[in-house]
Chain A
Amino acid sequence: MNRRLRNALKGLNAPDVDRRRRAMEPFVRETFGIFIRYLYRYLGNEVECEDVLEDVYADIWENPARLRDVENERQLLRTVYLYYMRKRLREVYRRMNRHLYLAQKDLSNLAAPELGLLDTMSQNELKEALNKALGRLKARERRAIELWRDGMSVRAIANELKTTVGAVKMLKFRTILKLKEMMSEYSERSL
């Protein structure tokens, strides 16, 4: 953890609310990039991410006790997710639940799941693991994932790969399961 982030965290634990309020700005500056990237995984929408993160920071200001013993970035992200972000993420879609054919538990798992092995990895570790895993895929599987990451629709991918929409969906599903296995291996080895 860099010195500026460590100092910002120290300021957050001040007993005086005004001092804590002043300490929030450097904390926000140091952590905004990390937190918003993490939230984006679950929401995929920058406006919603910012709204949720605003409340997360205000919650941290109100009750920073959980961050007292944080020693590194990974621990910080994990603590913030478990004690501050998760609650807010669950609130995003909670009101929708009465109109959905989805159990409350499943909705919670989609919006703010339990932390899996991959969720605890940092952005750089994930990028590295993903690149390695993509390198081990068959050319057609890798192409399908890359086209999807470029923002193409399933139909466009099907046209590109000269196959049907159904076949692309199946290919993507199998490839993602394959990726999950490969990345889990990598993350277990790196622990």
Chain B
Amino acid sequence: MADTNRKIQELLSDYAGALRDGCLPVFLKSLTRQEGKELSSSRQFWEAAEVVRVLNGVGFADKAATADVGLFASRVDANIASRMKKAKSSPRAKRTTGARSTTKRQRTEKPI
């Protein structure tokens, strides 16, 4: 039977293409068991992968940096707001211990 597993140079080429085109999951899913093993044991692949990432960053990253920063900052703010809300309503905050209920009672009794 013919060996259809890709060689290291083919794997690297496909990894580089997938990274450039932003579809790494497709590459990951395409790996066979044998290819996974080969990739794992190849020092050259990991060295070359580092350069592939650099090439990707230097060559193509500028198109990612053109996004609207103001809009993105408001997305971050919304994420923070949702985390704050979650922290306030988390079960840990709701848990009533003896000490907590006492302080609550004291707080409500104060105005009287």
Contacts and interface: CB of A to CB of B under 8 A. Distances in A.
Interface residues of A, number: 67
Chain B interface size band reads 35 or more
Contacts of B75: 50, 54
Contact of B69 (A29, A37, A49, A174): A29
Contacts of B69: 28-29, 32-33
B53 A41 contact: yes
Given A45-B23, A100-B29, A54 B76 contact: yes
B73 A36 contact: no
A interface majority secondary structure: helix
Contact of B80 (A49, A61, A183): A61
| Cβ-closest 3 pairs across A and B | A45-B22, A41-B57, A173-B9
Interface of A: 17, 21, 24-25, 28-29, 32-33, 36-46, 48-50, 53-55, 57-58, 61-62, 93, 96, 99-103, 106-107, 109-111, 113, 116, 118-119, 123, 126-127, 130, 145, 148-149, 151, 153-154, 166, 168-170, 172-174, 176-177, 179-180, 183
